[in-house]
Structure 1
Amino acid sequence: MREAYHVELEQLAVKLAEMSGQVATAMELATESLLNTDLALAEQVITDDVKVDDARSACEEQAYALLALQAPVATDLRAVLAAIHAAESLERMGDLALHVAKAARRRHPDPVLPDQVREYFARMGTIAVRLARQAEEVIKSKDVDAALALEADDDEVDDIHKHLFTVLMDREWPYGVAAAVDVTLLGRFYERFADHAVSVARRMVFVVTGKMPGYGTSDEV
């Protein structure tokens, strides 16, 4: 019975890792569609989003079944609770990639991004995808140091996001209000995607140590 229970816990971790891989691919394709005005890629991200939603439902269903039927304690309980929270964050990451793809589709065949900011979004896209891939590996390995290392990349996304406001507030911004709104929203999507990837990694630290990084010393969930 207990062996089967731990197999189910491992299966839950596998599902979460697969979700992280899914949202990494979604943001990779969404960014490419944004930068290259590629409608087909945007449509692919939009169509595939339901798979991420379904994956979250499957993870939550399995996690709640484990809570109800196995009454886990200590590390096992933390693993189940962390899985529920991580699945929520991963679904939101998928939604954020979806928003990027929808922006590309909405403006097609015109580009969404003015040339002045393309390099910033290319960089944020690269980091965001890397963060999701790193979160995938952390879910598999439960490596605390690797989980904490995500913070540095997240800081770079935050810095780029803040710099975009400086660009937009320049009196010589020549692209109009609509472009400024698009850039503002898209910057926020990437910033939140990165934040959620870090949140997923923090949940894995919680599983191992019983402590949430940055949230004191109690066993917070």
Structure 2
Amino acid sequence: MREVFQQELREVRERLVQLAELVADSIEKATRAFNESDVSLAEEVIADDDRIDQQTVALDELAITILARQQPVARDLRIVVSALRISASLERMGDMSTHIAQLARYRFPDKVVPKTLRPTFAEMGRLDVAIARKLVELLRTEDVKLAEEIRNEDDEIDALHLQVFDKVLGETWKGQAVDTVDATLASRYHERFADHAVSIAKKVQYLATGDWDPEKAAL
């Protein structure tokens, strides 16, 4: 029975990695669709969100079954409970990717944001993709150095997010009302995507170290 239990725990962790890989693919495609006004790619992201949702439900069901049948304790309990929380954050990251793709679809064949903001959003997208890929490796390896890198890149996205707001609220902004709304929403989606990644990184760090002390935590 103990071997079966350990196999189930390995399956939980493998499924988390698989789910994170789907999310990383989703944000990469979404940012390309957004920046290149690629409606076909946007539609692909939107359609694939169902797959992320389904895998999230399947993972949660497995974790709940383990809790009910195995009654884990100590680190094993932390793994299962953290998996439930991490899967919820991954699902929300998938939603953020979908929202970005939806903006690209709604505005096609036009670009979503004015030319002056496109370099900013290209950089936000690049950082979100980098964060998502590092999150996959963090879940696979529990290398807490990756958690620190994710936090630092999140700080960069936060700074870009503020730049977008400064731009659309500034006196020199010439965009229409729809441009203001689109830029604000898109910036928020990018920022929230990274925030969820940071939240996951904190949980993985807790799994790896057992330490939730904010003074000692890497995040």
Range into which the TM-score falls when normalised by the shorter chain: over 0.9
2:187 is the alignment partner of 1:187: yes
Which structure 1 residue ranges, 5 or more long, are not aligned?
A: none
Equivalent pair of 1:161/1:191 in contact (CA under 8 Å) = yes
**Paired residue total:** 217
Q: Deviations over 1:65-114 (max 9, x none)?
A: 11001111111100001100000000000000000011111111111111
Partner of 1:197: 197
Higher mean C-alpha displacement, 184-193 vs 2-11: 2-11
Partner of 1:65: 65
* Shift in CA distance, 137/213, structure 1 to aligned 2, threshold 3 Å: farther
CA distance in 2, matches of 1:29, 1:212: 34
Partner of 1:143: 143
CA distance in 2, matches of 1:62, 1:127: 32
Partner of 1:2: 2
Partner of 2:101: 101
Equivalent pair of 1:125/1:190 in contact (CA under 8 Å) = yes
2:113 is the alignment partner of 1:91: no
Letter of the structure 1 residue corresponding to residue 77 of structure 2: L
Return the TM-score normalized by structure 1.
0.94
Question: What is the root-mean-square deviation in Å for CA atoms of aligned residues?
Answer: 1.4
Compute the displacement of 1:210 (Å). 2.3
Equivalent pair of 1:158/1:191 in contact (CA under 8 Å) = yes
CA distance in 2, matches of 1:27, 1:58: 21
State the SS of the aligned residue for 1:205: helix
CA distance in 1, matches of 2:145, 2:67: 28
Which structure 2 residue ranges, 5 or more long, are not aligned?
A: none
CA distance in 1, matches of 2:52, 2:215: 28
Return the TM-score normalized by structure 2.
0.95
Letter of the structure 2 residue corresponding to residue 200 of structure 1: I
2:91 is the alignment partner of 1:52: no
Letter of the structure 2 residue corresponding to residue 208 of structure 1: A
Q: Deviations over 1:109-150 (max 9, x none)?
A: 111111101111111111111111111111111122222331
